[in-house]
């Protein structure tokens, strides 16, 4: 069977794609691939200077790239609302929302709203952004929401509802795992709510990819990175699961894509499975309710968006 590559991305002309964290790594490669196929790509980035450099880099490879910059700090709900308002004012429809941005294993920090940085950025920021843009996606046939998770979702015992912000103690790897598990719980619950609609929710993970995301690893792990680099794949390969989830006409809502190689570390994208906890419906619903409470974002009912 032929492996799925970026060459299989269908024509994206006339489609609008929002990519968070599009200034580096997986997000940059995702944005470039979509622009190469004709999409209007909104680079949603925290640092506009880096965003401008990313747009220039894409344009050198894709001279016809149709790009737009939008400031978005997922660690600030005020910034998320401002970005959503700006996007809504410019676009009456959205075809793709790719929730890619994230932080991995930083020292203990909090967001502008007091949330643990990884949970607040990787999950709550994207939960809020998706909810605020959902009515621009629902009327669009074939629209998709793709959230990037990680094999790291397996590195946590679960969601610490009794200490979501890790105030009693902090384990950076477990906190990262919690945020990536939350990405999957969110995707599966969102897809269930979208049944019967024109919009689908999917998830993806890049395997082991050589990106800047590992810059916050503890020192001991940082020293091991050069030795482990042969196990990693380039960011362009790591972006393929996201791109397949976003554009493959055969992809279905609720699917999770990752590399097809040994241990899902490297390779071409295929449908994979997440851990047992991620499929727990009660856990999904509980996290959803808590996320709405923490962000103040209540998702529109599908009939509201059609009115």
Burial (0-12, 13-18, 19+ Cβ within 10 Å), 93: middle
Third-level CATH fold of 6-294: Rossmann fold (3.40.50)
List, for residues 166-217, the tens digit of each pLDDT value.
999 999 999 999 999 999 999 999 999 999 999 999 999 999 855 554 555 5
- Please give the positions annotated as active site: 176
The two structure tokens encoding residue 68: 């737009």
- The distance from CA 136 to its chain's CA centroid, rounded to whole angstroms, is 18
pTM of the entire predicted model: 0.92
pLDDT of residue 261: 87
List, for residues 125-135, the tens digit of each pLDDT value.
999 999 999 99
CA-to-CA separations, 89 to 34, 136, 185, in angstroms, rounded: 22, 11, 30
Which residues in the chain land under pLDDT 70?
209-231, 301-307
Instruction: Break the chain into its structural domains and give their ranges.
Output: 6-294
pLDDT of residue 300: 75
pLDDT of residue 307: 38
The two structure tokens encoding residue 30: 């995702």
């Amino acid at each position: 069977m032929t492996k799925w590559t970026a060459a299989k991305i269908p024509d994206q002309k006339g489609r609008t794609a929002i990519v968070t964290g599009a200034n580096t790594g997986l997000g940059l490669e995702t944005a470039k691939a979509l622009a190469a196929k004709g999409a209007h790509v909104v680079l949603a980035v925290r640092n506009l200077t880096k965003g401008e450099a990313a747009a220039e880099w894409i344009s050198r490879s894709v001279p016809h790239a149709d790009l737009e910059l939008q400031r978005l700090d997922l660690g600030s709900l005020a910034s998320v609302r401002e970005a959503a308002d700006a996007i809504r004012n410019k676009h009456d429809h959205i075809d793709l929302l790719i929730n890619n941005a994230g932080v991995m294993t930083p020292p203990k920090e909090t967001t502008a709203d007091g949330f643990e940085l990884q949970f607040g950025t990787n999950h709550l920021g994207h939960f809020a952004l998706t909810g605020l843009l959902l009515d621009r996606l629902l009327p669009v046939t074939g629209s998709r929401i793709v959230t990037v998770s990680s094999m790291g979702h397996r590195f946590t015992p679960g969601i610490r509802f009794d200490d979501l912000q890790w105030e009693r103690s902090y384990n950076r790897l477990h906190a990262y795992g919690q945020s990536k598990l939350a990405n999957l719980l969110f995707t599966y619950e969102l897809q269930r709510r979208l049944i019967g609609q024109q919009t689908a929710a999917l998830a993806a993970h890049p395997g082991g990819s050589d990106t800047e995301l590992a810059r916050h690893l503890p020192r001991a792990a940082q020293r091991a990175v050069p030795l482990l680099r042969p196990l990693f794949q380039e960011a362009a390969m790591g972006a393929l699961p996201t791109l397949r989830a976003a554009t493959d006409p055969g992809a279905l809502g609720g699917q999770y894509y990752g590399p097809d190689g040994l241990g899902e570390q490297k390779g071409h994208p295929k449908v994979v499975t997440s851990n047992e906890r991620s499929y727990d419906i009660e856990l999904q619903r509980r996290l959803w309710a808590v996320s709405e409470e923490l962000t103040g974002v209540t998702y529109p009912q599908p009939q509201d968006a059609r009115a």
